[in-house]
Structure 1
C-alpha cells in the first residue's frame, strides 16, 4: 500500500536529488533536501484538507489528481508562478522574466520579495475564507466545543464569513500594507495593492468554491434520480445510462483542489528564497515536497484516516486559519518559516492526539457496556 501510493514520490525524490548533484554537487543536494522538508512541513495541513475533498471523488479523478495535478503543482506553482509574478509586477514579458530567473538570481529574488504583499493578500484571503466557512458550519462532531458551538450559531447569519473576511482585509490594508516590508528592509505603502489582491482572492474562492458546491449538489441529486431509475429499469429489464454530470462535478472539485494547493504553496515559494535564489534548485526541492503532499493526500483517503481520527480535519482547518493570519502579518513583518511550519504541525498533532483519546474513550465505554451485558446474561441464567 505504501509503495503503491508513494512510489512516484520516491522515484521523483531520487531523480531530483541526482539532478541536484549533477547541477552543483553535494551543496545543491543539501539545498534540495532542505527545501523538500520545508515544503512537506508547511503543507501537511494541505494534505489533510485535500483528503477531505478527494475522498468524495472517484478513483479515476484521484489518479488525475496524482498525475495532471502534480504537473500543475510542481511546474505551475513551484516554477512558473514565481516567474509570472515577476513578469506582472516588474512589467516584463515572460521571456525576460525567465532570463532574469536563470541569469540574475539576486534581482529575481528582489522582485519576488517586492511582490510578496500582493501574494500574501491573495493567498491569505482565500485561506481565511476556507477557515471561516468551516468554523461557522454546524457539525455533528466538534473538537473544541467551547469555541465551535457559539460560532456555529453565529454561522446562521447569511454572508457572515464574507463580511468578516472583508473587515480583516480592510484592517490589513490600513495597518500592515501601509508600511509593507520590501527587499532590503525598506517599507512602502502597498495598501491599494493589498486591497485589490485580497479582493481577487476572495472572488476566486467564491467562484471556484461556489461552482464546486453547485455541481456537487447537482451530482447528489442526479445520483438519487439515477438510483430510482435503476430500480425501475431493473423491474422492467431495461438498461440505464450513466450520469454524465459526474464528470462536471469532479472537474470543478479538482479545480478547487488546485486553487487550494496554489494558496498553500505561496508561503513555501516565498520561504524558499531564504534557502536559495536558484530557480532550478527551488523547483526541484519544492516539487519533491509537493509530490509527497499529493501522495499523503491519497494515502489518507485510501486508509480512511479521516474517518478513524475525526478531529484531524478540524486541526487542519485551524492550521489554515493560522496560516492565513501569518500570511497577512508578513505583509509588514518578517516571520520565520520554521514558526509557520511548526504552527501547522502542532495544531494537527494536537487534533490527532485528541482523536486518539476519543477513540480510546469510546472503546473503553463499549468494553464496559459489553461487560455489563455479559454480567446481566449470567445473572438471568442463574
Structure 2
C-alpha cells in the first residue's frame, strides 16, 4: 500500500485533474448549447479556466487553515469533511448559496431564482452585486476573528514576524481583546457609510461575529463533554461546522467576483467547482505529508493572508478592489512564509552539521 511519504505530489491531484477535464468539457458544451458558435464555446471554456485559477489563487490560505484544523480531527471526521464537505462547498456555496441570496433579496422562491439565473442572468447578477455589502461585512468579520484568534494566543511560541507576534501573544492575556479590536473596526467602517448602508453593514458584521463565537462555543462544549462521546465524534462536529463556515467565508469573494467575468450561474459553478477540487487536494496533501510541521511559518503566512482578505472585504464596501489583488496578495504572503521556512530549515541543518 502506498504511504503518504512516498506518494508523489501529482498523485494527490488526480481527481482534481479529472474534474478539470470534465468541467472544462462541460463548460465548452454549455457555451456551444447557448450560442451554437465556436466563439461561444471558446468563451465559456476560457471563463471556466479563469474562474478555476481565480478560486485556487484565493484559496491557498483556505487549504492551509483547513489542514491545520483537520490534523487534530479524528480520521472519521477527516473523511466526512473531505467527502461531505466538498459536496457542500461545491454545490452549496457555488450554486445553492447564490440562489438563496437572490431568492431572499428578490422575495421569490428558489425555483424562481433558478429560472431567473437561467433566463435573465443580467438581473440575477444585479441582485447578487447589490447583496455584496452584507456578504462582505459578514464574511470579513468572521475571517478577521479567525485570523486574530490565531495570533492572540498565549500558548503560541513560534513567531514569524517576531516583534509583532510576541506583542499579540502577550496581549492575549486580556480577555476578549480580539473581539474589542473587531468591534472598533466595525464602528469605524460603519461611520464611513451612509445611514442605510451603515445599518446593513453593522448588523451583518455583528452576525458574522456572533457566528464565530457560536461555533467556538459549540467546540468548547464538545471538548468539555468528550469523555462521554464516542471516539469518532470527539471535537468532530464543532470542527466540521467551523470548517464549513470558514469555507463559506472564503467563497463569498470568489462567487461575487466571478460575476465580473460572466453572469451565467452555471459557468460560475463549473469554474469555481474545479478550483474547489484543487483546494481539497491541497488540503489532503498538507495533512498526509505533514507539510505544516515541516514548514514552520506556512501557517503564519496563511493567517496573515486571512487578515488581509478580511480587511479587503471591509474595504470593498467602500470601493471596488479587483479580485486579482486579493488572490495575488494572499499567494505572495504564503510564498514569502514558505521561503522563510526553507531558510529556517537550512540554518537548522547547517547548525546541526557544524
Shift of 1:323: 0.2
2:235 aligned counterpart, secondary structure: helix
Shift of 1:217: 5.6
Greater Rg by CA: 1
Which residue in the other structure is 2:122 paired with?
A: 106
Residue 310 of structure 1 pairs with residue 296 of structure 2: yes
1:191 aligns with one of 198, 215, 218:
198
Shift of 1:214: 3.7
Residue 72 of structure 1 pairs with residue 118 of structure 2: no
1:334 aligns with one of 294, 300, 320:
320
Residue 35 of structure 1 pairs with residue 21 of structure 2: no
Deviations 1:204-235 (A, max 9, x none): 1011123124424654xx4xxxxxxxxxxxxx
TM-score (norm 2): 0.92
Give unmatched runs, 5+ long, in structure 2: 1-6, 32-40
Which residue in the other structure is 2:218 paired with?
A: 211
TM-score (norm 1): 0.85
Q: Give distance in 2, aligned partners of 1:248 and 1:146.
A: 36
Which residue in the other structure is 2:132 paired with?
A: 116
Which residue in the other structure is 2:17 paired with?
A: 10
Deviations 1:77-130 (A, max 9, x none): 011111111111222222221111111111111111110000000000000101
Give unmatched runs, 5+ long, in structure 1: 180-188, 223-241, 369-382
1:321 aligns with one of 281, 294, 307:
307
Q: Give distance in 2, aligned partners of 1:110 and 1:130.
A: 30
Paired residues in the alignment total: 337
Q: Give distance in 2, aligned partners of 1:246 and 1:68.
A: 16
Shift of 1:66: 2.0
1:149 aligned counterpart, secondary structure: helix
Which residue in the other structure is 1:284 paired with?
A: 270
Contact map agreement 2:102 2:113 (CA 8 A) in 1: yes
Q: Give distance in 1, aligned partners of 2:277 and 2:340.
A: 28
1:44 aligns with one of 54, 57, 60:
60
Which residue in the other structure is 1:351 paired with?
A: 337
Which residue in the other structure is 1:250 paired with?
A: 236
